[in-house]
Chains A and B, each alone.
Chain A
Amino acid sequence: MASSPSPRRAVIIGGNRIPFARANGAYVGASNQDMMTAALDGLVARFGLQGERLGAVAAGAVLKHSRDFNLTRESVLGTALDPATPAYDVQMACATGLEAIGSLADKIKLGQIDSAIGGGVDTISDAPIALSDGARAGMLALGRARTLKDRLGAVASLRPRDLAPAAPGTNEPRTGLSMGEHQALTTQRWGITREAQDELAAASHQHLAAAYERGFFDDLVTPYRGLTRDNNLRADSTVEKLAKLKPAFGKNLGEQATMTAGNSTPLTDGASAVLLGSEEFAAQHSLPVLADFVDYELAAVDFVSGEEGLLMAPAYAVPRLLARNGLSLQDFDFYEIHEAFAGTVLSTLKAWEDPEFCSERLGLDAPLGSIDRSKLNVAGSSLAAGHPFAATGGRIVATLAKLLHEKGSGRGLISVCAAGGQGIVAILEAR
């Protein structure tokens, strides 16, 4: 598909997130709105946006209370931004953050807005607990009841078992399998070894720890509730230590089970935000420009039928994005592949190297090929930082934008898989 030159660029000015915290730990009691507000506040402070009316703020959460129907707008109202800044919620599972940022970049490119903040937040520690369907039906009927008889009838319809609350799960609704169980199938399908997964996990921890040590996150992270770093980070993580863990997913694979709590992301709380703008906005406000948000692409796969692995959609999105931008998989200086599971990253990379997959599934004449692994997740990724679903996109965009700006040239590829068999990928270019 030929793309007409976009009328102007959308640039990434900077980002901010709160440290990511393992679930039911440091952030117990903090709501999505609290954490999103904190992430926005830090960003506003970093870039002096107090009283500024931005074009739009878009963010979202995967696990959301019904009271948070206007989560992003409510968060904005709690910040020092001009209350006249419009805001809306985005929801695309783990792709939420990047989709919010990508669609805002589009608005900027089209000239509809000059500035925006995109991001996301999630908490497992303050996840919504719903009434069971039975209790909900009874309560709703009670609300509709006009007569005493109707009300008594509605109350009488409630059964004791209805009163047990329904906690949200991370199971795919259509398959009843957890994300880890799905990935276990994909990991096995691609023959990814335990050792390879543990190596990737150890590297993630070591890279993230090194990035913190060199002050890389000094202008990307604002402490929150006594936490100054992601508390899932184990700087002393090694392949040997990870090798001792027992399998957590795909246990029915027996000996072939390779996925552990060490090479899978933990449930995490956190929030992130990224400031975008037109070049004019950045210049007028004397703001830095870290990178161009070049382009992004969505994809989805049929995992319900078992045709494809749940988390393999990015494998399909990337070739389309590359083709549209006239690039090859090797034309990048950094690869940020979200580590939902070590197996996800490795399966995706292996798929791109596989002639049969690339030909039959992607319709390519030749495989996309392999990447230089030394350019992969160089400042750590989700295995070390944790993965508060909707917040991961913002973490990655800000990290990659800064990496590119530090290098001063080149481009980076982002790949994020998501529940529902979806995926989102993006290209950033250094400024």
Chain B
Amino acid sequence: MRETLPEVPTLGTLYASAAPRVLRKVTSVAPDALPDTEAYVEAVRCSREQLTAYQRLVGDTVREELPSVLLHGLGFPVALWLMSRKDFPLPLLGLVHLRNEVRQPRVVRPDETLAVSARAVGLTAHHAGTAVTIETRLFSEGELVWEGRSLYLAKGVRLEGVEAPPAPERAAFVPPSTTARWRLDGSTGRRFAAVLGDYNPIHLSALSAKVLGLKAPIAHGMYLAGRALAQCAPHGTGYAWSVDFATPVFLPGTVEVNRTSQPGGVVRFSGWNAKASKPHFAGEVTPL
């Protein structure tokens, strides 16, 4: 069932509307609990100011292409609208971002008007809870130009009637060689929020993060992906990419980064914490 929104909702309002349910205790969820709602926005555009600000933020070149992570950011409020509704069975403000998979068949220009469609497409059992997949798609005059699946984990929530898989055996993390180093200051989360509007309090300040039980604010997963793609993504062509998030990057902090080229133009990237020897994220980009 499609629900057409008059405009892209603002994330702050959505987080605020979800706040009262922060204390709602969810322990289990039925496999068919996801509402069959497609959130839809007819016309979304990215301003040149926002594009430039984003490109500056992640260290990309200012050019006439909408970076894939920015396109994610354009559609994200629509997805969040779904997730902040009362009928969404998982608590929004506790979701852990696990993974993104994106396929963008062609370059999207900043003057294109995009339609956004978002749906929650499935619940899966996870060793630590239940994961939900949100599918977002962007169309330009009916042509699919971007589609992405984001996987979020609701910790401690049992998927009713499904045996949770055992926690995978993890080999000890062996850091690859450093090919780059990101020094992220304490304002990294606020600066990303200022560009893409994602004012989730866990990213903003030491105080707001503490309120939500974190020892320090953490970097947006999409900020980390955006910086990685700024270095690794091809230009002038479509591409697919994915990223898995392991441990959060606390701010301020330093991320060791490796980038390795694979046959076929595939580039793998990963980030980790050198001191703790813990992986933060890993992903890859494939030109289409």
Which listed residue, A175, A305, A306, A307, touches B181 by the CB 8 Å rule? Answer: A175
Q: Is the CB of A306 within 8 A of B56?
A: no
Q: Is the CB of A175 within 8 A of B261?
A: no
A304 interface residue per 8 A CB criterion: yes
Q: Tell me which residues across on chain A come within 8 A of B56, comparing CB atoms.
A: 133
Q: Is the CB of A306 within 8 A of B259?
A: yes
Q: Is the CB of A304 within 8 A of B231?
A: yes
A122-152 vs B, Cβ < 8 Å mask (1 yes, 0 no): 0000000000010000000000000000000
Q: Is the CB of B178 within 8 A of A305?
A: no
Q: Taking the nearest CB of chain A, how far is it from the CB of B232, in angstroms?
A: 8
User: Roughly how many angstroms separate A176 CA and B181 CA in the complex, as a whole number?
Assistant: 5
User: Roughly how many angstroms separate A252 CA and B183 CA in the complex, as a whole number?
Assistant: 15
B249 interface residue per 8 A CB criterion: no
Which listed residue, B182, B187, B256, B267, touches A305 by the CB 8 Å rule? Answer: B267
Q: Which residue of B lies closest to A184 (CB)?
A: B178
User: Roughly how many angstroms separate A307 CA and B262 CA in the complex, as a whole number?
Assistant: 11
Q: Which residue of A lies closest to B177 (CB)?
A: A185
A227-259 vs B, Cβ < 8 Å mask (1 yes, 0 no): 000000000000000000000000010000000
A169-190 vs B, Cβ < 8 Å mask (1 yes, 0 no): 0000111110001000100000
B260 interface residue per 8 A CB criterion: yes
User: Roughly how many angstroms separate A130 CA and B206 CA in the complex, as a whole number?
Assistant: 29
Q: Tell me which residues across on chain B come within 8 A of A304, comparing CB atoms.
A: 179-180, 231, 259
Q: Tell me which residues across on chain A come within 8 A of B260, comparing CB atoms.
A: 305-306
User: Roughly how many angstroms separate A175 CA and B254 CA in the complex, as a whole number?
Assistant: 12
Q: Taking the nearest CB of chain A, how far is it from the CB of B226, in angstroms?
A: 15
A161-B187, A305-B260, A307-B261 known; A181 vs B181 contact (CB < 8 Å): yes
Q: Tell me which residues across on chain A come within 8 A of B30, comparing CB atoms.
A: none
B288 interface residue per 8 A CB criterion: no
B286 interface residue per 8 A CB criterion: no
B208 interface residue per 8 A CB criterion: no
B267-284 vs A, Cβ < 8 Å mask (1 yes, 0 no): 100000010000000000
Contact residues of A between 257 and 308, Cβ < 8 Å to B: 303-307
Q: Tell me which residues across on chain B come within 8 A of A174, comparing CB atoms.
A: 59, 180, 231
- Contacts between the two chains (Cβ within 8 Å), count: 44
B113 interface residue per 8 A CB criterion: no
Q: Is the CB of A305 within 8 A of B261?
A: yes
B258 interface residue per 8 A CB criterion: yes
Q: Is the CB of B180 within 8 A of A175?
A: yes
Q: Is the CB of A252 within 8 A of B187?
A: no
| Total B residues in contact with A, Cβ cutoff 8 Å | 19
Q: Is the CB of B231 within 8 A of A306?
A: no
Q: Is the CB of A252 within 8 A of B274?
A: yes
Q: Is the CB of A176 within 8 A of B180?
A: yes
Q: Taking the nearest CB of chain B, how far is it from the CB of A69, in angstroms?
A: 22
A133-B56, A174-B231 known; A306 vs B187 contact (CB < 8 Å): no
User: Roughly how many angstroms separate A252 CA and B274 CA in the complex, as a whole number?
Assistant: 7
Q: Which residue of A lies closest to B185 (CB)?
A: A161
Contact residues of B between 43 and 102, Cβ < 8 Å to A: 56, 59
Q: Taking the nearest CB of chain A, how far is it from the CB of B59, in angstroms?
A: 8
User: Roughly how many angstroms separate A306 CA and B260 CA in the complex, as a whole number?
Assistant: 6
Q: Is the CB of A306 within 8 A of B177?
A: yes
B133-172 vs A, Cβ < 8 Å mask (1 yes, 0 no): 0000000000000000000000000000000000000000
Q: Is the CB of A176 within 8 A of B259?
A: no
User: Roughly how many angstroms separate A252 CA and B258 CA in the complex, as a whole number?
Assistant: 14
Q: Is the CB of B181 within 8 A of A177?
A: yes
User: Roughly how many angstroms separate A161 CA and B56 CA in the complex, as a whole number?
Assistant: 17
B172-209 vs A, Cβ < 8 Å mask (1 yes, 0 no): 00000111111100010000000000000000000000
Q: Tell me which residues across on chain B come within 8 A of A307, comparing CB atoms.
A: 261
User: Roughly how many angstroms separate A358 CA and B134 CA in the complex, as a whole number?
Assistant: 50
User: Roughly how many angstroms separate A100 CA and B258 CA in the complex, as a whole number?
Assistant: 35
Q: Which residue of B lies closest to A185 (CB)?
A: B177
User: Roughly how many angstroms separate A91 CA and B101 CA in the complex, as a whole number?
Assistant: 42
Q: Taking the nearest CB of chain B, how far is it from the CB of A251, in angstroms?
A: 10
Q: Is the CB of A177 within 8 A of B259?
A: no
User: Roughly how many angstroms separate A306 CA and B177 CA in the complex, as a whole number?
Assistant: 9
User: Roughly how many angstroms separate A305 CA and B256 CA in the complex, as a whole number?
Assistant: 14
User: Roughly how many angstroms separate A177 CA and B56 CA in the complex, as a whole number?
Assistant: 19
Q: Tell me which residues across on chain A come within 8 A of B256, comparing CB atoms.
A: 252
Contact residues of A between 56 and 86, Cβ < 8 Å to B: none
Q: Which residue of A lies closest to B230 (CB)?
A: A174
Which one of B179, B231, B261 has the greatest number of beta carbons of chain A within 10 Å?
B179
A-B contact pairs, 16 of them (CB 8 A): A175-B179, A175-B181, A176-B183, A177-B180, A181-B181, A185-B177, A252-B178, A303-B179, A304-B179, A304-B231, A304-B259, A305-B179, A305-B260, A306-B177, A306-B179, A306-B258
Interface residues of A (CB under 8 A from B): 133, 161, 173-177, 181, 185, 252, 303-307
Interface residues of B (CB under 8 A from A): 56, 59, 177-183, 187, 231, 256-261, 267, 274
A-B pairs, top 5 by smallest CB distance, nearest first, are A306-B179, A175-B180, A176-B181, A305-B261, A252-B274
